[in-house]
A and B are shown apart, each in its own frame.
Chain A
Amino acid sequence: MNGIAPSRVTRWVIGILVGAFFAIPMLATLLYTFRDGDGFSPVHWAALFDPAKTSSYAPIWVGLGNSLVLAVVTVAIVLFLLTPTMILVHLRFPRLRPGFEFLVLLPISIPAIVLVVGLAPIYQQLGRMLGTGAWTLAFAYGITVLPFAYRAIQASIDAVDIRTLSEAARSLGAGWATIVLRVIAPNLRTGLLAASLISVAVVLGEFTIASLLGRQVFQTALVVVKNTDAYAAAVFTLLALAFAFVLLIVIGLAGRSRTRKAGS
Chain B
Amino acid sequence: MTSATRSTWAAIGLAPFAAYVLLFLALPTVLAVASGLVDADGAFTLDNMAALGDPVILATFANSTWLSLLTAVIGAVVGALVCYALLGLSETGAVRTAVDAAAGVFAQFGGVMLAFAFIATIGLQGVVTQLLLGAGIDIFASGPWIYELPGLILPYVFFQIPLMVITFMPALSALRPQWAEANLTLGGSRASFWTRIGIPVLAPSFLACTLLLFANAFSSYATAAALASQGSQIVPLQIRTALTSETVLGRENLAGALAFGMIVVVGVVMWLYSLVQRRAARWRG
Chain A residues with CB under 8 Å of chain B are 1-6, 10-11, 14-15, 18, 21-22, 24-26, 28-29, 31-33, 35, 77, 81-82, 84-85, 88-89, 92-93, 103, 106-122, 139-140, 142-143, 146, 148, 201-202, 204-208, 211-212, 219, 222-223, 226, 230, 233-234, 237, 240-241, 244-245, 248-249, 251-253, 256, 259-260
The minimal Cβ–Cβ distance linking B182 to chain A, given in whole angstroms, is 10
Closest to B255 in A: A117
The minimal Cβ–Cβ distance linking B106 to chain A, given in whole angstroms, is 7
The minimal Cβ–Cβ distance linking B284 to chain A, given in whole angstroms, is 15
Closest to B127 in A: A28
10 nearest A-B residue pairs (beta carbon): A5-B88, A118-B28, A111-B219, A3-B180, A205-B109, A118-B32, A118-B31, A248-B101, A28-B121, A32-B120
Closest to B116 in A: A237
Which residues from B are CB-within-8-Å of A119?
24, 28
Which residues from A are CB-within-8-Å of B109?
201-202, 204-205, 241, 244
Within 8 A of A (CB), among B1-43: 7, 10-11, 13-14, 16-17, 20-21, 23-25, 27-33, 35
* Contacts A108-B270, A253-B97; A143 near B180 (Cβ below 8 A): no
* Contacts A28-B126, A115-B28, A117-B239; A109 near B84 (Cβ below 8 A): no
The minimal Cβ–Cβ distance linking B227 to chain A, given in whole angstroms, is 11
Is there contact, CB below 8 Å, between A117 and B85?
no
Which residues from B are CB-within-8-Å of A253?
97
**A5 and B190 alpha carbons, distance in the complex (Å):** 10
The interface residues of chain B, by DSSP majority, are classed as helix
Q: In the complex, which of the residues A26, A89, A109, A148 has the most CB atoms of chain B within 10 Å of its own CB atom?
A: A109
Which residues from B are CB-within-8-Å of A207?
111-112, 221-222, 225-226
Is there contact, CB below 8 Å, between A88 and B256?
no
Is there contact, CB below 8 Å, between A29 and B116?
yes
* Contacts A6-B84, A207-B112, A244-B109; A111 near B120 (Cβ below 8 A): no
Which residues from B are CB-within-8-Å of A18?
78, 81-82, 85, 161
Chain B residues with CB under 8 Å of chain A are 7, 10-11, 13-14, 16-17, 20-21, 23-25, 27-33, 35, 78, 81-82, 84-85, 87-88, 92, 97-98, 100-102, 104-106, 108-114, 116-121, 125-128, 158, 161, 175, 177, 179-181, 183-184, 190, 193, 198, 215, 218-222, 225-226, 236, 239-240, 243-244, 255-256, 259, 262-263, 266-267, 270
Can you show 10 pairs from A to B with CB atoms below 8 A apart? A3-B177, A81-B20, A103-B21, A117-B259, A122-B28, A201-B104, A230-B125, A241-B113, A248-B100, A252-B101
Is there contact, CB below 8 Å, between B85 and A10?
yes
* Contacts A3-B177, A22-B158, A93-B10; A256 near B28 (Cβ below 8 A): no
Which residues from A are CB-within-8-Å of B120?
25, 28-29, 32-33, 230, 234
Candidates B29, B126, B240; contact of A32 at CB < 8 Å: B126
**A212 and B243 alpha carbons, distance in the complex (Å):** 8
Candidates A3, A112, A206; contact of B184 at CB < 8 Å: A3
Which residues from A are CB-within-8-Å of B10?
88, 92-93
Is there contact, CB below 8 Å, between B126 and A205?
no
Known: A5-B88, A6-B84, A18-B78. 20 other contacts (CB 8 A): A4-B180, A5-B87, A6-B85, A11-B85, A14-B81, A22-B158, A24-B121, A25-B114, A33-B120, A93-B14, A110-B266, A111-B221, A112-B221, A113-B221, A116-B243, A117-B28, A117-B243, A117-B259, A118-B28, A240-B113
Which residues from A are CB-within-8-Å of B7?
92
Is there contact, CB below 8 Å, between B240 and A212?
yes
Which residues from B are CB-within-8-Å of A212?
240, 243-244
Is there contact, CB below 8 Å, between B177 and A237?
no
**A77 and B100 alpha carbons, distance in the complex (Å):** 26
Is there contact, CB below 8 Å, between A82 and B180?
no
Is there contact, CB below 8 Å, between A111 and B121?
no
The minimal Cβ–Cβ distance linking A234 to chain B, given in whole angstroms, is 5
The minimal Cβ–Cβ distance linking B26 to chain A, given in whole angstroms, is 9
Closest to B173 in A: A4
**A142 and B25 alpha carbons, distance in the complex (Å):** 10
**A244 and B113 alpha carbons, distance in the complex (Å):** 12
Candidates B11, B111, B175; contact of A205 at CB < 8 Å: B111
Is there contact, CB below 8 Å, between B87 and A4?
yes
Which residues from B are CB-within-8-Å of A2?
87-88, 177, 180
**A15 and B60 alpha carbons, distance in the complex (Å):** 36
Which residues from B are CB-within-8-Å of A92?
7, 10, 13
Candidates A81, A223, A248; contact of B17 at CB < 8 Å: A81
Is there contact, CB below 8 Å, between A143 and B21?
yes
